Structure 1
Amino acid sequence: MNNFTKIIGVATIALSVSGLAQARDIGPDEVLRLREANTIKNLEELNKSAVAKHAGAVIEESELEEEYGRYIYQLELRDAQGVKWDLEFDAATGEMLRNQQDD
């Protein structure tokens, strides 16, 4: 194996490991601590914002993650017509980052 192949192999492993380390699920205890410290918005308010974007929608799944030092609130909704939507909010500011129909 030549040096170039070794370098590519090490770089690939490093990128894979760094990609895995960039997103971290936030558990309920930490969510409560972050909310009490006013680090993140009230998740119920963000739920209301999400449902307001899709009248009659039901939240099927929600999750708070830390990605690249930023708290991201991810939601999956199903609207009144049965269409599934993926939404993301910046949990600190409430800014909607993504509102896209799920395939």
Structure 2
Amino acid sequence: MNRLTAFFIATFMILTAGLAQARDLHDHEAKKLLDAGTILSFEKLNAAALAKHPGAKVTDTELEEDYGKYRYKVDLRDAEGIEWDLELDAVTGEVLKNHQDT
């Protein structure tokens, strides 16, 4: 293998390594976690997100597993039409990220 090919393979592996870390959980997986009490209910998680932006509406949600940790991602639109991206710890409800969508 020549050096250029090796370089491209190494670059591809580095770039795609981050993509494989987090994975979206399917509905049946989320239900098992909810039933087991491993994660908080989606109602509680949505309420925690909405508490950061009173009057906002939930536009999208997603549950992910990343290195054994469960993250709940919520997209909100506030009363002024500003969109917000929040990420919560699905086990504790702690808001980990809260930033305006750009």
Q: With structure 1 as the length reference, what TM-score do the two structures score?
A: 0.87
Q: What per-residue deviation string (whole Å, max 9, x for no partner) do you get for residues 8-27 of structure 1?
A: 33322322342222121111
Relative to structure 2, which stretch is displaced further, 14-23 or 25-34?
14-23
Q: Which residue is equivalent to 1:63?
A: 62
Q: Which residue is equivalent to 1:41?
A: 40
Residues 22-33 of structure 1 correspond to what in structure 2 (within 5 A)? Answer: 22-33=21-32
The count of corresponding residues between Structure 1 and Structure 2 is 102
Residue 93 of structure 2 aligns to a residue whose secondary structure is coil
What 5-or-longer segments of structure 1 have no aligned partner?
none
1:2 shift after superposition:
4.1
What 5-or-longer segments of structure 2 have no aligned partner?
none
Q: Which residue is equivalent to 2:20?
A: 21
Q: Which residue is equivalent to 1:83?
A: 82
Residue 86 of structure 1 aligns to a residue whose secondary structure is strand
Q: What per-residue deviation string (whole Å, max 9, x for no partner) do you get for residues 54-74 of structure 1?
A: 111000000101122211100
Relative to structure 2, which stretch is displaced further, 18-27 or 53-62?
18-27
Q: With structure 2 as the length reference, what TM-score do the two structures score?
A: 0.88
Residue 31 of structure 1 aligns to a residue whose secondary structure is helix
RMSD: 1.6
Cα distance in 2 for residues equivalent to 1:92 and 1:61: 19
The alignment-based identity, stated in percent, is 50
